[in-house]
Amino acid sequence: MNLNDKIKKHELLIEELNNGVDNLLVEGVSIIQILKLLVRGTSYIPTLLATQTLKKAGKALLDKEKEVKDMTSKEDVITGLSELTSEIAELKSLIIKLEEKKEEQLPFKKIVIEFKKKVDLDIDKMKSPEFQRSLVSTMYFKVMEVNETKKYLLLKTNSFPDTMFIRLEYKTLDIYKEQKGDVNLIYSRYKNPIVNPIEGEKEDCFYRVVEMK
């Protein structure tokens, strides 16, 4: 394939991506190829497209990890394990790079929130005290996503392990405006709230935004 053909193919893939990730997957383009295209080939990534791709990548990651566990014969292990573990490592690396690129496009990257009442969060299905966390007083967060359509923020804080996040609904992002929104805890062993998340129950949250930057 000459250079012009490669450029044309790249442009067609970009156009297809704008119509949705599923179309390309159906046509046989791998999720790794799609991730590479987004990470290396586009200057701007729509939030919905990035989210869809991360979710698909998370599913592919689970499928490949299951394949590793399901390998039983020695021949399978010898011929397939090395290739699979390499693909898993590449997927994880590309997921991190796409998340970093997505975060670069955020309208603000840090937020300070003052909680008017203590909010206790839990993920019941995990059945462990490790997944019991609280939002209290004034807390500092890194912003993972701002969903202006559904009006919620995905946030992480150094007060929690790097596998835990919160999803906080908002009515306004005006500074010092008192408001109430649902909040819940999210766990992802892949350290990304969009990649194979396990979510806790929603709780009432009374708060105000103190600072954004």
> 90-116 pLDDT, tens per residue?
999 999 998 888 888 899 999 999 999
State the pLDDT confidence band at 17, using cuts at 50, 70 and 90.
Answer: low
Write the DSSP symbol of residue 195. Answer: S
Output the CA angle 120-122-125, nearest 5 degrees.
165
Tell me: pLDDT of 79 over 90: no
Q: Per residue in 113-140, pLDDT tens?
A: 999 999 999 998 888 888 999 999 999 9
Residue 25: both structure tokens together: 């997957």
> Which of 83-110 are b and which e, b meaning 16 or more Cβ less than 10 Å from the residue's Cβ?
ebeebbeebbebbeebbebbeeeeeeee
Residues of the chain above pLDDT 70, percent: 81
User: Count of residues for the chain?
Assistant: 213
Whether 152 and 167 have beta carbons less than 8 Å apart is answered as yes
Q: How many helices (H) and strands (E) does the chain have?
A: 5, 7
pLDDT at residue 7, rounded to an integer: 45
State the pLDDT confidence band at 8, using cuts at 50, 70 and 90.
Answer: low
Cα(23)–Cα(137) distance, integer angstroms: 46
Cα(152)–Cα(171) distance, integer angstroms: 9
Q: Per residue in 138-187, pLDDT tens?
A: 999 999 999 988 999 999 999 999 999 999 999 999 999 999 999 999 99
Is this prediction's pTM over 0.85? Answer: no
CA distances from 9 to 29, 30, 57 (A): 12, 15, 22
CA distances from 105 to 43, 55, 90, 156 (A): 10, 19, 23, 17
